């Protein structure tokens, strides 16, 4: 049985030569890994899907799962035959609702437990945690219950959007689960349910542990390995 792994990215630009994408392929241990994109959160944005193929097709067996229209009959085999699965950004609440209708949430847990590497950016980052900070409902940010593969909460785009840090602090102060925030171009790499390391493809970027201690929200900057 392969080790369970999740790479949760605070935000990044999927493009050839991006070290975070290189790391995803390395984590599979395969010479030419099978990588599946699930672009549900962006309503299967054509530009995003094309960008995925441009990034991965020359060095991986790249494919994507479409759940709009009539979904494929063999979703389970599509999901479980992969070495890695990448979830794109967009509206997390809509994505989770669609996944649950088609059982994709259960299949992703099965994939994770089988050692298929799970990864994603923004919506594709917070979805793996108990809860996440999202703009799925309104411009002001809210908390959202997610899949719960990983304990605690997650906030992406911590340095990329001015409202993220105060919103995460506000939510944690009000009883939201403690968790991790990640700047853009930062990844949180988990083995099992434990944070193994923080990685970054930008020198000044980092991640943070945010929690409530003695009634006050604290934020601890975590060391990041520069890729």
CA gap 15, 88 in Å, rounded: 13
- Answer yes or no: are the C-beta atoms of 42 and 227 closer than 8 Å: no
CA gap 122, 183 in Å, rounded: 10
**What tokens does 104 get?**
């994709």
Sign of the CA dihedral with 29 first, then 35, 39, and 40 last: negative
**What tokens does 226 get?**
């520069």
Crossing angle of the two packed helices 46-56 and 19-28, in degrees rounded to 10: 70
Specify which residues 187 forms β-bridges with.
9, 199
Catalytic entry in 125, 157, 169, 206:
157
Catalytic entry in 42, 121, 122, 125:
122
Examine the residue annotation and report whether 12 is marked as an active-site residue of this protein: no
* Burial degree of 94 (CB within 10 A; 0-12, 13-18, 19+): middle
Examine the residue annotation and report whether 122 is marked as an active-site residue of this protein: yes
Catalytic residue numbers read 122, 157
């Amino acid at each position: 049985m392969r080790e369970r792994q999740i790479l949760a990215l605070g935000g990044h630009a999927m493009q050839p030569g991006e070290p975070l994408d290189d790391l995803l392929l390395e984590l599979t241990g395969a010479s030419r890994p099978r990588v599946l994109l699930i672009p549900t959160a962006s309503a299967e944005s054509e530009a995003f899907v094309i960008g995925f193929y441009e990034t991965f097709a020359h060095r991986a067996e790249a494919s994507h799962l479409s759940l709009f229209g009539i979904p494929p009959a063999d979703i389970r085999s599509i999901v479980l035959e992969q070495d890695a699965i990448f979830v794109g950004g967009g509206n997390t609440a809509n994505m989770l609702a669609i996944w649950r209708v088609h059982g994709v949430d259960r299949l992703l847990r099965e994939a994770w437990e089988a050692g298929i590497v799970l990864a994603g950016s923004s919506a594709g980052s917070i979805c793996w945690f108990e809860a996440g900070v999202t703009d799925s409902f309104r411009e002001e940010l809210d908390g959202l219950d997610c899949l719960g593969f990983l304990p605690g909460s997650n906030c992406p785009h911590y340095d990329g959007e001015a409202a993220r840090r105060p919103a995460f602090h506000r939510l944690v102060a009000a009883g939201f689960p403690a968790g991790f925030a990640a700047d853009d171009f930062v990844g949180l790499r988990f083995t099992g349910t434990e944070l193994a390391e923080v990685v970054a493809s930008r020198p000044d970027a980092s991640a943070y542990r945010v929690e409530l201690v003695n009634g006050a929200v604290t934020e601890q900057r975590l060391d990041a390995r520069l890729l």
